[in-house]
Amino acid sequence: MKALLTLFALLLTPPLLAQSALPPAPYADRQISDPALERKAKALMETIRCLTCQSQSIADSNASMAGDMRSQIRERIMAGEEPEHIRRWLIERYGDWVSYEPTADPVLWPLWGAPLLLIGLGLLLLRGRIKRKARR
Amino acid sequence: MIAEAGLVALWLAAALAFLQLGLVAFGLAGKKSELLEAVRPVAVAQGALTTIAFTALIALFMRSDMSVLLVANNSHSMKPWLYKFAGTWGNHEGSMLLWVTVMGVAGAAVALFERALRRDTHMATLGGQAAISLGFYAFLLFASNPFARINPPAADGQGLNPLLQDPGLAFHPPTLYLGYVGLSVAFSFAIGALLTRQVDASFARAMRPWVLAAWILLTLGITAGSYWAYYELGWGGWWFWDPVENASLMPWLAATALLHSVTVLATRDALRAWTVMLAVIAFSMSMVGTFLVRSGILTSVHAFAVDPERGSFILVLLGIYIGGALALFGWRVGAVREGAPFELVSRETMLVVNNLLLSVILGLVLIGTLYPLLTEAFGHKVSVGAPYFDRIAGPIALILMIVMAAGPLTRWRRDNLAEVGRRLIVPAVIAMIAFAAVAILAWGRIGVLPFLGLVIALAVAAGSVAPLWKRNLRRTPLFTWGMVVAHLGCAVSLAGMACDSAFTVEKLAAVRPGDVVEAAGWKLRLTRIVPIAGDNWTALQADMEASRNGGPPVMLHPQSRFFPSPPTTTTEAALLTRWNGQLYVVLGQEADQGRWQLRVWWKPFVTLIWFGGALVALGGALALVGRERRGWLLKWRGKAAVA
Amino acid sequence: MRKLLIWLPLALFAGFFILFASGLLKPDDRVITSKQVGKTLPDFTLPPAASDRPALMSRELATGKPRLLNIFASWCVPCAAEAPQLLALKRAGVEIDAIAIRDAREDVDRFLARYGNPYDRIGLDARSSVQIALGSSGVPESFVIDGKGRIAYQHVGDIRADDIPMILQQLEDAR
């Protein structure tokens, strides 16, 4: 939304201008026939960041490389690989950046502490503002 | 000549802003009443001049005056008139001119219509508004002149980013800007009140309608933007937790908190320092958002002209205004007395919890959005996206929804827990029924958050209308109706979000003409793929017939559009709206051997998301009219009594 | 206590201000580098991408002396701009292999005929799978592979004329 908001997706522009003419990889835009496996694959794809786009997951990108990654993920899920294993494999190649799902990396721990910190700060501000017990 | 006239108007407006600031400063410091007399006319004239400048820019775009650099870079003579018109703000300079125009007009409105505020605070507020405007005038005139000429004139323009060539551009940015920049009035009120040390209930009552008006427009703007992103990006998503989206959400969160705290201040004369703080934060978030979006320090899906040099200019403005306001706060707020403590079971406490939770969500969105910037400073690239925000803001938002239902059912000052519980019985029973129903129908098929979202949406919908229970509806004040409608809108929107994430059916297929795709009871037959030509684009269009459960077929025409200037391909999704959901069809690439890629989604009740957003804005409008009308009536009666 | 809380917002804003300023001052760095640098090449066998060059296997890259592995595509404009630099490296005695991404043989042949062919072997990676395994995020990119088949260096984007000495140095260092 967007500040001048939602003036959109420039990001779509560069890849589309110089994009391979080759048809998409087999499973780029084709679902796995087993719905349970497709759900697994889809959940993973939604948390993998597209490399040639600015700020999109590979699940909603038109870039051809995102299509190739979708295809690869579906094929590996069909071959029985676990989504988290694929994520680790991708992180070994592209670093934590590639995963929207926060990894266990200590550098991300403060993100999980943030809600507690903020609620704690709020309660500190509230101290003494609310009577403990309703007076009768 | 139009461009020069616009530029002169802009310079004059800037000069008037300077004069306005000077009049207020010397008038208040020297207690010179005659100086202060001139402030209001100056503010009105300044608003008029900004309007003239903006109108001049619109005229240049409508006439496709290619001797103006901005028009040549962002428009094209062959464009449909609507996009020439809307293209005025579809670029950096034009949108910043819109920004100062909104500030100028809002300042004029405060000068003309504000009657409730004490005179010195009113003047200080207008001084604050002029001070903020000055920075943005400087930004426009020195770093982003929209009226710059080129010689020789361009043969034709380079065109507007095709993704912006949508009716959404005519509505979404101006609405959002009115809201974004409208919050500057609350900011100026806070500055004025800190300067005159008048932070009290009457100040809050004066500020409330201005906050409400900006908040309504912000709500509409965000809702419209979300729908625009939904149909334009072509993947069925309506919120991506993208930095630019977060930048618009943060002012809204702050304004929503402010709206509620200002009510506590107006009614109970409490939360003084906090309300002033929120008024400062809300517009600060607008400015921070503008900085994030324009400076390019964060990457976004949404297209903006990004320029680090302009970013530094905005950063300086941030430093002056936000830093200055917070310093003023620290300096002056110590003198503001705290109100008496609240009873634990009271409307006040509910509103305080509302403020706490909204502020925590705001803090989390801010931290999450900026965190990648922080780690990158230490050489570690990370991504923070939907999985984090959903998981962390989602549960807090759900708790907030419950408080939202309970709050209006709790009395001011002191209430009894058992009594409140009794009033919540109906929503609680509905929650239990909903829990059982959703559990039986969809257990194991949907995630925890959508599940809880559905249950809470149903219960909160019942809870929101509960304040009307056993009341004479015709005698219920309009602002109570407004609150009920706005809260109901939140529940409706939540139901839409939960349904979309729980029950959306996705079908990807590669089909030849004549083939049929089936999804969620829909049968879609691809008739043919035809090339078609539009105003300034060509497209491949899929002609399709869709029918549900053997019903009559409806024609659908998803397109893949190619724009030559600038060269871009966009997808135009075909949307078929039914009362119980929306069918969303996108034509993708040619796959192989004459087969075409189709993406089909059936999204049950997804439209509730935006319908709910519109209800929230409508509720705000009812509350605004209700409060103001009461003010008019009282004034009229007062005059009648004096007579 | 209250005193501290009153000034807390300003202190927090100062922190954000510094963060924003550092974000602006730092050169724009959108490059995602491969975390495979320093590791052994992944195993792969690719079919030939051009009519007159052999196919490419990962173990053929471990020849005892450093080689350059170029990732390119016939549909990529910067790759064409990079071609003269690769030819210059070739003339300087660098052995270069290539992987063509999402390409077709006729297109690669046409590309090489037009812009020159500095490559010994060219493998065709029709679905970017080797590219992903290498941790490469786009075209063109170039990897320095040392004699034992280890990735010694990654260059993201096209090699410019003034990058050549640096690339030669990287190849030297990988010895």
Of C35, C107, C138, the CB nearest to A52: C138
Other residues' Cβ atoms within 10 Å of the Cβ of residue B562: 17
* pTM of this structure: 0.93
Closest C-alpha to B43, from B19, B75, B63, B9: B19
Of A20, A51, A69, the CB nearest to C73: A20
How many Å is the Cα radius of gyration of chain B?
A: 26
CB contact under 8 A, B288 and C3: no
CB contact under 8 A, A2 and B172: yes
Cβ contacts of B273 on chain C, cutoff 8 Å: 6
Report the distance separating Cα B463 and Cα B456, nearest Å.
Answer: 10
pLDDT: which is higher, B565 or A12: B565
The pLDDT, as a whole number, for residue A16 is 38
The pLDDT, as a whole number, for residue A134 is 47
CB contact under 8 A, B302 and A7: yes
Other residues' Cβ atoms within 10 Å of the Cβ of residue B324: 15
Percent of chain A with pLDDT over 70: 80
CB contact under 8 A, A72 and C132: yes
Side-chain-facing half-sphere of C64: CA atoms under 13 Å: 0
The pLDDT, as a whole number, for residue B387 is 92
Cβ contacts of B367 on chain A, cutoff 8 Å: 111, 114
Interval C34-72: pLDDT, tens: 999 999 999 999 999 999 999 999 988 888 899 999 999
CB contact under 8 A, B326 and C10: yes
The pLDDT, as a whole number, for residue B568 is 79
Question: What is B300-313 written as a DSSP string?
Answer: -SS-----HHHHHH
* Residues within 8 A of C (CB atoms), A 57-86 only: 64-65, 68-69, 71-72
Report the distance separating Cα B467 and Cα B463, nearest Å.
Answer: 8
Question: What is B200-212 written as a DSSP string?
Answer: SHHHHHHHHHHHH
pLDDT, mean of residues C151-155: 94
Q: Is B456 on the interface with A (CB under 8 A)?
A: no
pLDDT, mean of residues C114-132: 94
In the structure encoding, which two tokens stand for residue B539, read together? 């497209």
The pLDDT, as a whole number, for residue B301 is 67
Report the distance separating Cα B520 and Cα B584, nearest Å.
Answer: 12
Chains within contact range of chain A (3+ C-beta pairs < 8 Å): B, C
Residues of B with CB under 8 A from a CB of C: 273, 277, 280-281, 284, 288, 291, 295-297, 299, 308, 311-312, 315, 318-319, 322-323, 326-327, 329-330, 333-334, 370, 373-374, 376-377, 381
CB contact under 8 A, A94 and C137: yes
Report the distance separating Cα B367 and Cα B193, nearest Å.
Answer: 30
Task: Write down the number of H helices and E strands in chain B.
Answer: 20, 10
Report the distance separating Cα B546 and Cα B555, nearest Å.
Answer: 6
Report the distance separating Cα B242 and Cα B259, nearest Å.
Answer: 25
CB contact under 8 A, C29 and B323: no
CB contact under 8 A, A2 and B247: yes
Closest C-alpha to A3, from B503, B305, B624: B305
Cβ contacts of A51 on chain C, cutoff 8 Å: 32, 137-138
CB contact under 8 A, C129 and A125: no
Chains within contact range of chain B (3+ C-beta pairs < 8 Å): A, C
- Let me know: does B283 contact B184? Beta carbons within 8 Å: yes
pLDDT, mean of residues A87-102: 93
The pLDDT, as a whole number, for residue B298 is 80
CB contact under 8 A, B323 and C24: no
Residue in B closest to C16 by C-alpha: B370
The pLDDT, as a whole number, for residue B187 is 97
Question: What is B312-345 written as a DSSP string?
Answer: HHHHHHHIIIIIHHHHHHHHHGGGSPP-PPBPSS
Of A5, A110, A118, the CB nearest to B360: A118
Which regions of chain B are under pLDDT 50? none
CB contact under 8 A, C32 and A95: yes
Residue length, chain B? 643
Q: What residues does C98 pair with on adjacent strands?
A: C70, C122
Cβ contacts of B280 on chain C, cutoff 8 Å: 9
> pLDDT band at C4, cuts 50/70/90?
confident
The pLDDT, as a whole number, for residue A15 is 36
Is the confidence at residue A9, as pLDDT, over 50? no
What ipTM was estimated for this complex?
Answer: 0.89
Question: What is B538-597 written as a DSSP string?
Answer: EEEEEEEEEEETT---EEE--EEEEEETTEEEEEE-EEEEETTEEEEEEEEEE-STT-EE
Amino acid sitting at position C132? I
The pLDDT, as a whole number, for residue B397 is 96
Measuring CA to CA, how many Å separate C12 from each of B90, B370, C4, C137? Answer: 33, 13, 12, 36
The pLDDT, as a whole number, for residue B434 is 87
User: Nearest CA of chain C to the CA of B210: how many Å?
Assistant: 24
Of C10, C28, C29, the CB nearest to B330: C10
Q: Is B54 on the interface with A (CB under 8 A)?
A: no
The pLDDT, as a whole number, for residue B419 is 87
CB contact under 8 A, C126 and A22: yes
- Let me know: does B162 contact B76? Beta carbons within 8 Å: no
